[in-house]
A and B are shown apart, each in its own frame.
Chain A
Amino acid sequence: MSTATGKNFFEAASGWKSWLFTLDHKRIGLMYLAAVCIAFGLGGLFALLLRLELLTPTQLLFSAKQYNQLFTLHGAVMVFLFIIPSIPASLGNFFLPIQLGAKDVAFPRLNLASFHIYIFGALFCLYSIFAGAIDTGWTFYTPYSTQSDTSVISMTLGAFILGFSSILTGVNFIATIHKMRPKGMTWFRLPLFLWAMYATSVIQVLATPVLGITLFLMILEVSLGIGIFDPALGGDPVLFQHFFWFYSHPAVYIMILPAMGIMSELVTTFCRKNIFGYSFVAYSSIAIAIISFLVWGHHLFVSGQSEYATMLFSLLTFLVAIPSAIKVFNWLVTMYKGSISFDTPFLYFLSFMFLFSIGGLTGVFLGTLSIDVHLHDTYFVVAHFHYVMMGGTVMAFLGGLHYWWPKMVGKMYSEFWGRISCLLVFIGFNSVFFVQFIMGSKGMPRRYYNYLDQFQPLHAFSTFGTWILGLGFIIMAVYLLKSLKSGEKAPDNPWGGLTLEWKTTSPPPLENFETVPEITHDPYDYEKAGL
């Protein structure tokens, strides 16, 4: 159905000011989308460069210090500028109000502020890249970070500022979901993407400030030398690690929960079937959010933490795997006897299922204390977190992007090139990272610039993989951008979805709906809808 006025939100206003000072959550979402994609490209560039260096066991292109800077910047850009905001700020901002049935988020001006703060923080990070790029690792461990002559303060300030952006987004989403549900939209009729966004927002609000204060204390340490993290002054460097990981562990669930939300959307639409175990999936999002705060010490197993604390954290880490496993199981069962269409978004869903399962299981290995003693700080860890962050979050992000692209921009992309790109990304990803599990278990340490000759074949294979991966992304950028110009006009509901965004136009009008539909059934009720 087209709008009565015929105007979608793009047409509602024009000019750069109508974007930079917009209060429309959809425009803010799109600006964030552009920003995080650029950040992904930048972080990816650092990855390509550092893997290039690792083609040979000894120096190839970069000095040792430059190598340290490369992996630090790769990590910092990818974590703070890309993955944390990726789904919530872009797809979340765009679709949360629409899927809810609201006209906007609770605090539109705060939303815009959040975006401006993100840009401000990003500029700080960019500045620090060029002004003595930081080389401490994205984890900024003391005492090295307080002694390094690189741009520690500006990068930590950048991350501190970015934290506020994340917190404000979380505040906005929690308020919106609580207070702006229309008639009939009870909690248990919310699409699972919204449950996921809610749980993510809870973590964003409660965990991110701890990163803020940690970075603040670190800046005091660097500039004033207060000494609480410095053993030479009577402090404790492991205390920094406790503070840092109290945020950064829940942060990885900020990364994966929205992705899991997207997975629920994709599986129901592309299998034309109701989700199996809606309430289990919903509750497991909340469970993950809560338990995620209890396990941070598993990053400190070999740091000097006491044995008793280590055992406690190892036990709790096993617990956090359970709700994730419940979700994977439920998605799998949802596929059973579904009517499956293998469109590009669903190919990303399948990629996630396979890759996240590997990533998640290897996380359990690492959570097992006796094994972690051998695998800590090896490539096994690097492979694990790339499987969950990239094989998990990025695959889901791409799935969501391709799923919702027609709705956001009103154009269809090339399905052929979409599948090619997905294949290249899948093959490239596994080429890069599967061998890293092998390398790690054979003892190859992470963040090492030089390595023993015997690891070269695997390193080289991994590096070649990055080129395949890069090609996949370049193709994706091309066909997505091309679709904006010459793509086929998208119908209101190209995939046959049942959630509210498919009941409005592609792209939606300024206030999201001509009239907000009344909600009378569950979000994925294909049987009832008679489809």
Chain B
Amino acid sequence: MSDNHSHHIIVPVKYYVATFVALLVLTFLTVYVTRFDFGALNIYVAMLIAVMKASLVLLVFMALAWDKGFNRIAVVFALLFFGIFIAFTMADISTRGSVEELEAGTHNINSPVRPLSESSKHNKVHH
């Protein structure tokens, strides 16, 4: 016996359609910005667009925009600790020094990578 009907918010279809279109546009943008070189900022631009897409999915498709308090807090804390994980690990990695040395590959590893042969050099970039 359903004594109480759910008082759930029914989101109008137009919100979903608009979000879907926006996501497609942003996906196009994700690829389009790779034509421009922002140098060290490249990754941040890409991530900014990704965050915008993610926010649309979270707020509209997953209804966080209309949800009660704790669900949002759960997301915030997950992202916060994820951020701390990245930040503190990078605090170690990025301050160890000798990054140039690592890049130059001076530590004689057992690499399984075969050196590029002459014929395959032009195959580097795929369609």
CB pair B110 A242 closer than 8 Å: no
Q: How many A-B residue pairs have CB under 8 A?
A: 53
Beyond A206-B77, A294-B84, whether A238 also contacts B109 by CB under 8 A is: no
Judge if A308 is at the interface, Cβ distance under 8 Å: yes
Give the Cβ gap from B114 to chain A, nearest Cβ, in Å: 15
Beta-carbon contact of A232 and B110 below 8 Å: yes
A426 to B72 CA separation, bound complex (whole angstroms): 46
Query: Which residues of chain B from 96 to 122 have a CB within 8 Å of any chain A CB?
Result: 96-97, 107, 109-112
Residues of A within 8 A of B38 (CB): none
Closest residue of B by beta carbon distance from A309: B92
Nearest A-chain residue to B109, judged by Cβ? A234
* Partner of A293 from B84, B91, B95 at Cβ < 8 Å: B84
User: Cβ of A297 < 8 Å from any Cβ of B?
Assistant: yes
Question: For residue B77, which residues in chain A have a CB less than 8 angstroms away from its CB?
Answer: 202, 206
The reply on B78 being an interface residue by CB < 8 A is yes
Contact among A206, A233, A307, A312 with B111 in the assembled complex (CB-CB below 8 Å): A233
Whose C-beta in chain A lies nearest to the C-beta of B85?
A246
Which of B70, B81, B85, B107 has the largest count of A CB atoms less than 10 A from its CB?
A: B81
Indicate the size class of the contact surface on chain A: 20 to 34
Interface membership of A178, Cβ < 8 A: yes
Interface residues on B, range: 10 to 19
In the complex, the answer to whether A178 meets B70 with C-beta atoms within 8 Å is yes
- By a CB distance below 8 angstroms, the chain A residues around B97 are 306
The residue that B88 contacts in the complex, of A210, A234, A297, A307, with Cβ under 8 A, is A297
| Residue pair B85, A210 in contact (C-beta under 8 Å) | yes
Bound-complex Cα distance A239 to B93 (A): 9
A246 contacts which chain B residues (CB < 8 A)? Answer: 85, 89
Complex alpha-carbon distance, A509 and B25, angstroms: 59
Q: Are A305 and B88 in contact (CB under 8 A)?
A: no
Contact A294 B88 (CB under 8 A): yes
How far does the Cβ of A187 sit from chain B's closest Cβ, in whole Å? 12
Residue numbers in A under 8 Å from B109 (CB-CB): 231-234
A-side interface mostly? helix
Measured between beta carbons, the chain A residues less than 8 angstroms from B85 are: 210, 246
Quote the shortest CB–CB distance from A201 to chain B (angstroms). 12
**Closest residue of A by beta carbon distance from B112:** A233
User: Contact between B110 and A309 (Cβ–Cβ < 8 Å)?
Assistant: no
Residues of B within 8 A of A206 (CB): 77-78, 81
Name the residue among A297, A304, A306 with the largest chain B CB count within 10 angstroms. Answer: A306
Contact present for A293 and B111 (CB under 8 Å): no
Please measure, in the bound complex, the distance between the C-alpha atom of A252 and the C-alpha atom of B95, giving whole angstroms: 28
User: Which residues of chain A come closer than 8 Å to B88, judged between CB atoms?
Assistant: 294, 296-297, 309, 312-313
Q: How far is the CA of A142 from the CA of B111 in the complex (A)?
A: 18
Contact partner of A312 (CB less than 8 A), chosen from B78, B91, B107, is: B91
- Residues 279-324 of A at the B interface (beta carbon under 8 Å): 293-294, 296-297, 300, 304-309, 312-313
* Closest chain A CB from B54 CB (angstroms): 19
Cross-chain contact B78 with A242 (CB below 8 angstroms): no
A312–B96 CA distance with the chains assembled, in angstroms: 14
Interface residues of B, dominant DSSP: helix
Q: Is A233 a contact partner of B96 (Cβ separation < 8 A)?
A: no
Min CB–CB distance A142 → chain B (angstroms): 15
Nearest-neighbour CB distance to chain B for A509, whole angstroms, equals 25
Chain B residues positioned under 8 Å from A308 (CB to CB): 91-92, 95
- Complex CA–CA separation, A304 to B96 (angstroms): 8
Complex contact B111–A234 (CB within 8 A): yes
- Closest chain-B Cβ to A143's Cβ sits at a distance in Å of 12
| A79 → chain B closest CB, angstroms | 21
Find the A residue at minimum CB distance from B70. Answer: A178
Is there contact, CB below 8 Å, between A238 and B78? no
- The residue of chain A having its C-beta at the shortest distance from the C-beta of B110 within the complex is A232
Judge whether B110 and A306 touch: CB under 8 Å: no
Instruction: Please indicate the chain B residues that have their CB under 8 angstroms from the CB of A178 in the complex.
Output: 70
Residues of chain B lying within 8 A (CB to CB) of residue A309: 88, 91-92, 95
Separation of A293 and B85 alpha carbons in the complex (Å): 8
CB neighbours of A231 from chain B (8 A): 107, 109
In Å, the complex CA distance between A294 and B92 comes to 13
Which residues from 395 to 428 on chain A have a C-beta closer than 8 Å to any C-beta of chain B? none
Complex alpha-carbon distance, A308 and B93, angstroms: 10
Q: How far is the CA of A421 from the CA of B51 in the complex (A)?
A: 58
Given that A206-B77, A294-B84 are known contacts, is A233 also in contact with B95, CB under 8 Å in the complex? no
Closest CB in chain B relative to A302 CB, distance in Å = 13
Q: How far is the CA of A217 from the CA of B109 in the complex (A)?
A: 20
How far is the CB of B76 from the nearest CB of chain A, in Å?
12
Q: Sort A-B residue pairs by CB-CB distance and give the 6 closest, nearest first.
A: A309-B92, A306-B95, A308-B95, A306-B96, A234-B109, A309-B91
Chain B residues packing against A (C-beta within 8 Å): 70, 77-78, 81, 84-85, 88-89, 91-93, 95-97, 107, 109-112
- Excluding A206-B81, A234-B109, 13 further A-B contacts by CB distance (< 8 Å) are A231-B107, A232-B110, A233-B111, A238-B92, A294-B84, A296-B88, A300-B92, A306-B97, A307-B95, A308-B95, A309-B88, A309-B92, A312-B91
Report 16 cross-chain contacts, Cβ distance below 8 Å, ordered by A residue.
Answer: A178-B70, A206-B77, A210-B85, A232-B109, A232-B110, A234-B111, A236-B93, A239-B89, A297-B88, A300-B92, A306-B93, A306-B95, A308-B91, A308-B92, A309-B95, A312-B91
